[in-house]
């Protein structure tokens, strides 16, 4: 997956965002933020053009995701954030911390 593919799917199928499909979106979004942080600029561009997509991304950082990947997102958003993206990184980090609390130990 990449951000463009996730965005295309969101535009086409967002009305189907429930159950297993929602979990699949969460898995894709969390994987991107954990393992492809270097593509954050693409997410930032898409999010600036479509606030609904940005809300969709944030909503899918949740407790259905892998704990280790959530921890990677917290690390990425804390240590690898471009200065110009401080607000987005803060929201991603805070949402990830909430998801981690829900996952528990």
Q: What is the pTM of this model?
A: 0.92
Q: Round the average pLDDT of the chain to a whole number and report it.
A: 93
CA distance 65 to 24: 9
Percentage of the residues of the chain whose pLDDT score is greater than 70 = 98
CA–CA distance from 27 to each of 21, 70, 79 (Å)? 10, 10, 22
pLDDT, one tens digit per residue, over 58-85 is 999 999 989 999 999 999 999 999 999 9
pLDDT given at position 19? 73
Does residue 99 register a pLDDT over 80? yes
């Amino acid at each position: 997956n990449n951000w463009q593919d996730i965005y295309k799917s969101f535009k086409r199928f967002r009305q189907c965002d429930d159950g297993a499909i929602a979990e699949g979106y969460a898995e894709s979004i969390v994987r991107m933020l954990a393992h492809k942080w270097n593509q954050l600029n693409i997410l930032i561009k898409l999010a600036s053009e479509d606030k609904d997509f940005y809300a969709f991304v944030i909503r899918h950082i949740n407790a259905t995701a892998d704990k280790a990947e959530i921890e990677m997102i917290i690390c990425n958003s804390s240590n690898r954030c471009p200065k110009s993206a401080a607000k987005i990184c803060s929201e991603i980090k805070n949402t990830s911390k909430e998801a981690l609390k829900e996952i528990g130990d």
